[in-house]
Structure 1
Amino acid sequence: MAPSEQAEPRAKRARFAEEEQEPDLFGEEHDSYQEYIPLKKRRQIEEHELSKRSGMVASHAEQPDPAAETMLDEDGEEPLVKESLLVRTAKARKDQPTETEAQKRLREEQDMMRNITARTALRGVKELATGVVYTRSIKTGWKPPLKLRQLSDDDHEEVRHKFHIITEGHNLPPPILTFQEMKFPSPILQQLESKGIKRPTPIQVQGLPVVLSGRDMIGVAFTGSGKTLVFALPTVMQSLQEESRMPLVKGEGPLGLMICPSRELARQTHDVIKGYTTALLQAGYPPLRSLLCMGGIDMRQQEGEMRSGTHMMVATPGRLKDMLKKQRITLDLCTYLCLDEADRMVDLGFEEDMREILSYFKHQRQTLMFSATMPMKIKAFAESALVDPITVNVGRAGAANLDVIQEVEYVKQEAKLVYLLECLQKTAPPVLIFAEKTKDVDDIHEYLLIKGVEAVAVHGGKDQEDREQAIDHFKAGKKDVLVATDVASKGLDFPNIQHVINYDMPDEIENYVHRIGRTGRCGKTGIATTFINKNQSESILLDLKHLLKEAKQRIPPVLQVLHDPLGDLEEMAAASGQKGCAYCGGLGHRISECPKLELQTRQEAHKKKDYFGAGGFGGEM
């Protein structure tokens, strides 16, 4: 081996030896070596430190090594013990305040509501696909009188407080107490006076200024409070303004669209609008045409009316979808949309229909939603379709009309028909009788005819012509009693109804509120008699009990003895700000025990098709 190759290892050893002898430049000794402590002993040290901090020493723990206790860190202090995640979690739970049963249930309800309302926004398919979001309301040429605009917000709030009007939203238009200050033309004022309407109702005091100013709105008020005028008069004014600027030609329109859940309600709304357009025409104003679009009417007749141009349309969802698909009508010019009885329109079964109808709109629209019952789950979902909305609420959503005297009587199933004749003697006609099933409606109608009572019947199984004829005869006073299912319970205005009889208690408390709302309208007092027996579920009877209690009505002994499982109901209502169930509006239960939610959950589960059997692969298709 060459000398150079042998010298290299010695040079390296010498260099390492020199490095070992190199003095410390910082004047410190290399004595940082620490004795290795086994894992078991380190855990014992940690347990000892934790027990010292909490003031408790575990009896089963071994004493740590004294040598280990004297371990110091670089600063000469005892080293900090690292806590495990398990220990931290246990301490965090211990430090948390104890959660009461009511608070626990309230948290569970909030989670349920988030899951229920976490659905696609109620907008058209094209708007959802392209991400179109409107942020500003539609501007109109209407303004409140100057003297009202100059008043302070406190003055306006005092008026709202006087009429028990609750509002949500910002930049609220001022409440207006007269129709003259709302700037309606004299023919409309004369038409209102001829119908005995001299001053606005509370929902009209605040609702009409909101709609006239172009804002989106959710209107909630008890039945018979005049909600129809809140959306009917503004669409007449909008159509009059557009016709004055540029008259409609053949095939154009509608400018305003109102959708109703039933044919009877659609016809009633159309008749109201037609009354005001006729008054304007007789006074020399331009002709305004309105169209009734619903099933049971020859579509060719509706097409003929469309050819001359339509300003306003009142429709039911089924016929409207059919005509839109066949391109018989278009919504290219429509900028005004109202959903009457909106809780039914947006509820399960109508959601996709409404989304499909909204897809035919070409521009931004002013959207209005009205109902007497507006549960929180519907309200939260409805707000997704509105732009900067204002909520106008007169009384609690779902509350019964205080002008109705509610009487609840226990009647056996086999004795109902006989006792029905006795109840008819309470008041003079006209009287309205509601039943759940169409078979019961026919049986009651036949029984009353045999007993010599002038009665007519209405239900979904009858022809449209027969339904219209029965309602017209009843309204005209030719018949004394109308027997009907819930098709006649929502929105219909029957004059001078003094007595409503519920032959059976409906399955949902919302339907009960709508039924008894057919009487006690426009400030008049009415009576509602309801038959109950063991066939009704305890849940709906509890809802009825709390509804009677809220309206300060007499509670019969059969409801008094019912055990109320929700002892903390008032505490939860105060904590959540929501009385009763947030899903259906019932006062006798919370959302966790809601029978309507349970039923609809089961129905949705049955709709899921299982192509492979036994709930296996493909069950979600």
Structure 2
Amino acid sequence: MTPDVSTPKRRRIEPEEPLTLDNSDDYVPYIPVAQRRQQRLEQLANRGYSRSSALNTVNDAEEQEAREDEEREEELRREKARKERTLLEEAQEVHKRKAEEDGKKTTWEKDQEADEKILAAIVNQRKLASDLELAKGILYTESLRSSWRPPRFIRERSEAQHARLREKYHIIVDGEEIPPPIARFSDMKIPAPMLKHLKSKGIVDPTPIQLQGLPTAFAGRDMIGIAFTGSGKTLAFSLPLVMIALEEDAKLPLEKGEGPVGVILCPSRELANQTYENILEWTGAMAAGGYTQLNTLLCIGGISMAEQSHVFNKGLHIVVATPGRLIDMLEKKRFNFESCKYMCMDEADRMIDLGFEDDVRNIMSFFKHQRQTLLFSATMPRKIQDFAQQSLVRPVLVNVGRAGAANLDVLQVVEYVKQEAKMVYLLECLQKTPPPVIIFSENKNEVDDIQEYLLLKGVEAVAIHGSKTQDERQYAIKSFKSGAKDVMVASSVASKGLDFNEIQHVIIFSMPKEIEDYVHQIGRTGRSGKTGIATTFVNMNTPEQTLLDLKYLLMEAGQKVPPFLMSVEDPRAAQGGALKGCPVCGGLGHTISNCPKLEDTQRRTMASHRGNDEGGY
């Protein structure tokens, strides 16, 4: 059967609307150029223009339109090019402009900018505060209140009179409401037994750092104390703590398990032990005069705390410690800082430089209340000062001379000695003055070699360095101080704050890279107003930058500069601009960009990071 195929139906197609470019009301159809020109000529003729003037006007109009069209097209091309440019091309242009700007700057200006960038990067540290204070955003704005006040006649003096007294002793101060300087111990209201004891030791008048530092500490103010080695800084920060502890005990005697009232932190065991012995002497003098016998604890590594168990049987007034052992005792809760209101860091810049910064923050976390904080050192560069200013409450800066400057009571002699001739020449140098003499070397093995050589030559010598046991270190210091040994050969461990009053001569066998270490080493002589000699060996092995630091230090102190040292030229001198010292180490012969101390700090940081990455228990 044939399928039925139906015819498809046809649909009617509606006519489409004519195509236009734009259906909007403001659409203007295109008019050919010749027709548009004819229309303009007719319009001008209707206005009374002659044919020649009408032609000129139309030609000018067409030229203007052509120029505008070209400008629009050029702008469109530029816009398209801008959109098509890559980030790399833009970066190249920025670098090119910066290079042109840098080309206009002097080398000195470029170096200054580079140094400022480095300094800004390394000073970005958290302030020294407890974790609780940082977490809660606790910010102290007022200093601790103190019951001490200067005598009325001191308070009634004008600020101009105070300024004249400070100027007389070359004291530079900075801060708000600075306490007045006081030129006599008796006017500081120090108890009679202490005055008698100081007089018996030949200490009659305060040194410049004590003249301004003691009133500042007595007033309860946070303080940054800077003074050259041997200037009496230990008395300036220890005596206020003794007075505070006596006052607190008079209010309410401390019982077993209570205290301490204050803590003194030191970077080395030897310095802590020396401070501890001084405080025992002063507290003993006060007890002999009828005051309470204060209980003082020495908290350092290398000694058994069981030997001081009797100290814990009573209330604890003062703790002298190194950071590691102090943290250990606090974590074991042998004592706490519930009532601690005084904290001093001796050789504060060295504490932070030696990697104790995290330990100090850890110690801060044990404080429950505001405390009076004091930082003391002979060398405190601008970086540490700025850091301290942020961490303390309304601090007073007391500076006797330039931070990092050498003691002017030390005669500095620099001699060029070949490496192989050092040992022989050392014996000649020992003939300059009678014993005792200290010899410094940066290398522990060299320290042992020098001691062995001197013993073979019949010289009574002892050695001290970081690899010695605590008993060996204590024996060396005691035998040297007592006069049983004539010479002590030491690494830099003995250069920080240790007090040997009778030292007339210091020999620096190997010049340290950091000029700060040199300042501390020569400071073992010329202490407490006495004079001394420091002989330094240098040769081709000594870095030129270190020689330059040494040259400027000698010039600043008015010392004789040997010709070979004077011939060392400063590359910065040819660049123009003022020569500034390094803000990290205080050296005058280099900038922060080539500071050996900064390099050493970065090396230690990288080493610690590698150690952490390697893991271990």
Counterpart of 2:565 (choices 537, 559, 566) is: 559
Q: Secondary structure at the match of 2:573?
A: coil
Output one character per residue of 1:96-137: Cα deviation in whole Å (capped at 9) or x when no partner: 996443233223222221111111111111211111111110
- Counterpart contact for 2:261–2:341, Cα < 8 Å: yes
Which residue type is aligned with residue 183 of structure 2?
Answer: L
The aligned residue for residue 453 of structure 1 is 459
Q: 2:515 aligns with which of 504, 509, 512?
A: 509
For residue 12 of structure 1, what is the aligned residue in structure 2? none
Offset of residue 38 of structure 1: 4.5
CA 1:450–1:212: 2 relative to 1, 3 Å: same
CA distance in structure 2 between the partners assigned to 1:249 and 1:306 by the alignment: 10
Alignment correspondent of 2:501: 495
Question: Which residue of 2 is the match for residue 601 of structure 1?
Answer: 602
2:299 is aligned with 1:293: yes
Structure 2 residue 412 is matched with structure 1 residue 406? yes
Identity rate of aligned residues, in percent? 56
Q: Which has the higher helix share?
A: 2
2:219 counterpart (213, 216, 222): 213
Counterpart in the other structure of 2:123: 117
Deviation at 1:307, TM superposition (A): 2.7
CA distance change for structure 1 residues 43 and 571 in 2, over 3 Å: closer, same or farther? farther
Deviations 1:302-343 (A, max 9, x none): 344123111011001111111111111211111100000000
Q: Which residue of 1 aligns with 2:370?
A: 364
Select 1:469's aligned residue among 461, 467, 475. Answer: 475
State which of 159, 171, 175 in structure 2 corresponds to 1:165: 171
Contact 1:106 1:572 in 2 (8 A): no
- What is the CA deviation profile of residues 437-476 of structure 1, one whole-angstrom value per residue up to 9, with x for unaligned ones? 2211111111111111122211122221221122112112
Deviation digits for residues 30-66 of structure 1 (CA, Å, limit 9, x no counterpart): xxxx979747526999xxxxxxxxxxxxxxxxxxxxx
Deviation digits for residues 251-304 of structure 1, max 9, x if unmatched? 111101000011111111011111111111111111111111111211223344
Q: Distance in 1 between matches of 2:207 and 2:529?
A: 10
Counterparts of 1:190-229 in structure 2, within 5 Å, are 190-229=196-235
User: Does the alignment pair 1:478 with 2:478?
Assistant: no
Q: Is the 8 A contact 2:172 2:399 kept in 1?
A: yes
Q: Secondary structure at the match of 1:350?
A: helix
Match of 1:48 in 2: none
1:215-254 matches, within 5 Å, as: 215-254=221-260
Which is higher, the Rg of structure 1 or of structure 2? Answer: 2
Code of the aligned partner of 1:412? K
What is the letter of the counterpart of residue 222 of structure 1? F
Structure 1 range deviating more: 562-571 or 240-249 = 562-571
Distance in 2, matches of 1:311 and 1:612, equals 42
Change in Cα spacing, 1:97 to 1:492, as seen in structure 2 (3 Å) is same
The AA in structure 1 aligned to 2:589 is G
Q: What's the CA shift for 1:410?
A: 1.2
Q: Partner of 1:590 in structure 2? A: 591
- Give distance in 1, aligned partners of 2:501 and 2:97: 68
Equivalent in 434, 443, 455 of residue 428 of structure 1: 434
- Deviation of the 1:603 alpha carbon: 3.7
Q: Distance in 2 between matches of 1:35 and 1:207?
A: 85
Q: Distance in 2 between matches of 1:611 and 1:453?
A: 46
> What letter is aligned with 1:455?
A
Report the Cα distance in structure 1 between the residues aligned to 2:98 and 2:610, rounded to whole angstroms.
Answer: 46
Query: For residue 267 of structure 2, what is the aligned residue in structure 1?
Result: 261
Deviation at 1:188, TM superposition (A): 0.3
Task: Tell me, yes or no, if structure 1 residue 41 matches structure 2 residue 42.
Answer: no
Is residue 341 of structure 2 the alignment partner of residue 335 of structure 1? yes
Counterparts of 1:507 and 1:564, CA distance in 2 = 17
Q: Which residue of 1 aligns with 2:42?
A: none
Q: Distance in 2 between matches of 1:570 and 1:272?
A: 49
Aligned: 1:174 with 2:180:
yes
Q: Against the structure 1 CA distance between its residues 231 and 40, is the aligned structure 2 distance closer, same or farther, given a 3 Å change threshold?
A: farther
Determine if contact 1:341/1:371 at 8 Å carries over to the other structure: yes
In 2, Cα distance between equivalents of 1:457 and 1:90: 60
CA–CA distance in 2 between the matches of 1:379 and 1:591?
A: 16
What is the SS of the residue equivalent to 2:415? strand
Q: Which amino acid is 2:485 matched to?
A: K
Distance, in Å, in 2 between the alignment partners of 1:404 and 1:456 is 24
Match of 1:275 in 2: 281
Letter aligned with residue 600 of structure 1: T
Query: What stretches of structure 2 of length at least 5 have no aligned partner?
Result: 1-24, 26-63, 76-92
Instruction: Show CA shifts across 1:181-209 (max 9, x none).
Output: 00000000011101100000011111111
What CA distance in whole angstroms lies between the structure 2 residues aligned with 1:354 and 1:378?
Answer: 14
* Pairing 1:151–2:152 present: no
Pairing of 1:15-30 with structure 2 (within 5 A): none
1:515-556, Cα deviation, whole Å (9 max, x unpaired): 000001111111000111112211111111111111111112
Shift of 1:389: 0.4
1:123–1:384 Cα contact (<8 Å) kept: no
Aligned to 2:389: 383
Structure 1 gap segments, 5+ residues each: 1-15, 17-33, 46-86, 574-578, 614-618
Aligned Cα root-mean-square deviation (Å): 2.8
SS in 1 for 2:188: coil
Which moves more between the two structures, 308-317 or 453-462? 453-462
CA distance in 1, matches of 2:555, 2:146: 44
- Cα distance, 1:449–1:39 mapped onto 2, change above 3 Å: farther
The answer as to whether partners of 2:107 and 2:575 remain within 8 angstroms in 1 is: no
- Return the alpha-carbon distance in structure 1 between the equivalents of residues 155 and 480 of structure 2: 46
Q: 3-state SS of the aligned residue for 2:578?
A: helix
Alignment partner, residue 396 of structure 1: 402
1:275, 1:163 → 2: CA distance? 28
Q: Distance in 1 between matches of 2:535 and 2:98?
A: 57
Partner of 1:318: 324
- Match of residue 580 from structure 1: 581
Asked if residue 141 in structure 1 is aligned to residue 171 in structure 2, the reply is no
Q: TM-score, normalised by structure 2?
A: 0.83
In 2, the alpha carbon distance for the partners of 1:583 and 1:298 equals 37
Offset at residue 598 of structure 1 (A)? 2.6
- 1:350-383 deviation line (CA, Å, top 9, x unaligned): 1101100110011100000000000111111122
CA–CA separation in structure 2 for the residues paired with 1:240 and 1:546 = 46
Q: Is the 8 A contact 2:508 2:534 kept in 1?
A: yes
CA–CA separation in structure 2 for the residues paired with 1:488 and 1:422: 23
